[in-house]
């Protein structure tokens, strides 16, 4: 594994048994029929344009130059979103250079980043990517990855085979096809708006399998591997929520919080190992893998199978309810988390 990538490769999702749902905390029916589904982004074709307009109206203004585009006295948030869509972090988590689109803007046809996004990605896709990023913090752009090359570490004359395999699994991606995103979007919008915007997070479709093979479907950066393309839309939906659980847990240090750790885990100091305890407290087989998967699976269960999570561990249910969902849950028939 790339030495500097270890911090962002928090988890992978692999299926076993007769169904992709066997190892996770909810089945297809529970996922598809869970309460409080939000489809406003589908019902309103101008949803993302409205998100952009609202930010534009209410944000402070600043002048900036981005990859061949000069914007004078325009929204700071919109400018930052466009820069995020057209650049990338390198494997050391340093900003990559802005992509130079001077050829698109040299004639002055765009005076703001909204126009620029539509020129770069296409009219509808540009508005969609910009609006989704502003509303949820999720970045669907595949741009910038091609600027990166496998690192060569100290003592090496060239990148090793393992480094190249890890690098390809993380940074060799392609643009999304609209139909591939349906399940992931349903997952994103099945969560309350209070959880957004996320810390800066990309959702990308890899062109390479993970080096552990096609049994690995995704990771917490969030990269979806080719094997996902063959799986059920409701599994996509669940996986998206699971991976967002990783993002939230990592950002707020929830999966390493002592209050979380002590529910189901203990340290064997003689063997220097983290071991499971309270086997009945795990909501799925996959949750037993480590503290990170325990949290992400419990997070997804809180959303799609809350009765099961509560039955397995009231402590975990209450931890997620209070620390993440601001005291609301998906058990009540009267109210949906906002």
Task: Please give the residue range of the domain that contains residue 91.
Answer: 37-149
Determine, yes or no, domain membership for 157.
no
Average pLDDT of adjacent 10-residue blocks, the chain of 338 residues: 39 57 94 90 89 94 91 93 88 78 89 94 96 96 90 91 90 95 96 91 92 85 92 96 95 96 92 91 96 97 97 98 95 80
* Residue 18 confidence (pLDDT): 58
- Residues 236, 257: one domain? no
- Does one domain contain both 194 and 214? yes
Residue 90 domain flag? yes
Q: Does the residue 195 lie in any domain? A: yes
Distance CA 300, CA 9 (A): 19
pLDDT of residue 3: 40
Q: Identify whether residues 104 and 168 lie together within a single domain.
A: no
CA atoms within 13 A on the CB side of 180: 16
In a domain, 158, yes or no: no
Torsion of CA 111, 116, 119, 121, to 10 degrees: -170
237 within a domain of the structure (yes/no): yes
Is there a contact between 184 and 240 (Cβ–Cβ < 8 Å)?
Answer: yes
CA 299 to chain centre: 14
Residue 220: closest CA among 201, 195, 197? 201
Asked if residue 2 belongs to a domain, the reply is no
158, 149 Cβ separation under 8 angstroms: no
**Predicted structure pTM score:** 0.92
Boundary (domain end) residue, out of 250, 273, 303: 250
Kindly state whether residue 308 falls inside one of the protein's structural domains. yes
Q: How many residues does the chain have?
A: 338
Domain boundary among 250, 277, 300: 250
Strands 223-224 and 265-268: unpaired
Q: What is the predicted pLDDT for the residue at 212? A: 85
Q: Please report whether residue 263 resides in a domain.
A: yes
Quote the tokens at residue 114: 């909204």
> Both 41 and 106 in a single domain?
yes
3-state secondary structure of 295: helix
Residue 98 contacts residue 66 (beta carbons within 8 Å): yes
DSSP assignment, residue 176? P
Contact 172, 145 (CB under 8 A): yes
Q: What is the pLDDT of residue 7?
A: 37
203 backbone dihedrals φ, ψ, rounded to 5°: -115, 115
183 and 242 housed in the same domain: yes
SS3 (DSSP) at 153: coil
Radius of gyration for the alpha carbons in the chain, expressed in angstroms and rounded: 21
| Vertex 299: Cα angle to 294 and 300 (nearest 5) | 105
pLDDT score of 96: 76
Q: What's the total number of domains in the chain? A: 3
**171 and 117, same structural domain?**
no
Q: What is the pLDDT of residue 148?
A: 87
> Please, which residues bridge with residue 66 across strands?
69
Same domain, 143 and 69: yes
């Amino acid at each position: 594994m790339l030495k500097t990538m270890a911090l962002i490769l928090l988890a992978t999702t692999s299926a076993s048994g007769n169904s992709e749902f066997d190892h996770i905390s909810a089945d297809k029916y529970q996922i598809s029929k869970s309460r409080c589904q939000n489809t406003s982004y589908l019902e309103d074709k101008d949803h993302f344009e409205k998100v952009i307009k609202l930010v534009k109206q209410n944000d402070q203004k600043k002048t900036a130059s981005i990859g061949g585009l000069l914007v004078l006295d325009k929204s700071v948030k919109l400018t930052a979103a466009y820069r995020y869509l057209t650049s990338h972090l390198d494997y050391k988590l340093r900003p990559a250079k802005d992509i130079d689109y001077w050829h698109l803007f040299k004639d002055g046809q765009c005076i703001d980043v909204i126009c620029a996004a539509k020129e770069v990605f296409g009219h509808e896709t540009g508005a969609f990517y910009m609006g989704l990023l502003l509303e949820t913090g999720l970045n669907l752009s595949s741009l910038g990855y091609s600027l990166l090359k496998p690192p060569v570490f100290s003592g090496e004359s060239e990148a090793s085979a393992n480094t190249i395999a890890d690098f390809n699994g993380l940074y060799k991606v392609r643009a999304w096809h609209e139909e591939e995103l349906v399940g992931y979007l349903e997952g994103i919008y099945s969560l309350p708006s209070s959880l957004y915007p996320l810390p800066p997070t990309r959702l990308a479709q890899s062109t390479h399998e993970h080096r552990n093979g096609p049994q690995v479907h995704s990771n917490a950066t969030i990269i979806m591997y080719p094997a996902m393309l063959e799986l059920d839309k409701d599994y996509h939906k669940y996986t998206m929520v699971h991976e967002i659980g990783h993002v939230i847990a990592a950002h707020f240090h929830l999966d390493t919080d002592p209050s979380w750790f002590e529910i189901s885990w203990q340290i064997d100091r003689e063997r220097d190992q983290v071991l499971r305890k309270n086997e009945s407290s795990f909501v799925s087989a996959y949750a037993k893998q480590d503290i990170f998967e325990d949290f992400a699976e419990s997070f997804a269960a809180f959303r799609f199978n809350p009765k099961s999570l509560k039955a397995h561990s009231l402590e975990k249910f209450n931890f997620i309810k209070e620390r993440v969902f601001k005291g609301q849950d998906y058990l009540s028939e009267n109210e949906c988390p906002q």
